[in-house]
Every structure is written in structure tokens, then in C-alpha cells.
Amino acid sequence: MSIEAIQAVSPAIGTERLFGPAAPSAAIAPQGASFAQVLMDGVGKVETKMAAADAQVRAFAIDDSVPLHQVTFALEDARLSLELMVQVRGRLIEGFQQIMGMQL
């Protein structure tokens, strides 16, 4: 079985707050989308959240019209998204190492 054989990954329960609202698997991974593309889409969403949090912090530092609770929420949302991404990466590496350690 190769990486290309993996078609889609369904979202885990509870990740809709980190990666956006839950959608049908066809919307997450259109037919023919690769596993790598699904992962890259997730990384792109995390990157977008990090950039949005950075923009909120910059706006707060320049202008007091941005409420502190919005900045705090954006930072926490970005932190949780990044933490989830790191956990997924760790699980993927662990799975790869297990596969590489198998006896043929």
C-alpha cells in the first residue's frame, strides 16, 4: 500500500473549532485528493490562524480600539491549532517509524 492509495481523512470529533466547521468528507478531500494535499490544507489553515493572530496583536499594539479579549481569543485559537498540528505530525512520524520497523 502506498501513500497515494490513501484517498481522504475524515475529521476527528472536536477538531471543528481548530480547523473550522465540520464538512462532508467530499468538501474536505475532493475525489482524487491525495493524503499529502489534505495535510497541506490543514497546515495552510493553521498558518492562516497564526497570521490572523499576529495581525490582531499588531492592531492592538498600535490602536486601543481592538478589544483585549479578541486578541487573547485569536492567540489561544492559533496556539491550539498549532498544538494539534504538532500532535498530528508526531503521530504520523510514530506510524512511519512503526511501518519502517516491520519485518517483511
- Map out the domains of the chain as residue ranges: 3-96
75-95 average pLDDT score: 96
pLDDT for 15:
52
Kindly report, residue by residue over 52-67, the tens digit of the pLDDT: 999 999 999 998 888 9
Whole-model pTM? 0.63
How far apart CA 28 and CA 48 sit, in angstroms, is 17
User: And the C-alpha cell for 96?
Assistant: 512511519
Q: What is the DSSP string of 54-84?
A: HHHHHHHHH-TTS-HHHHHHHHHHHHHHHHH
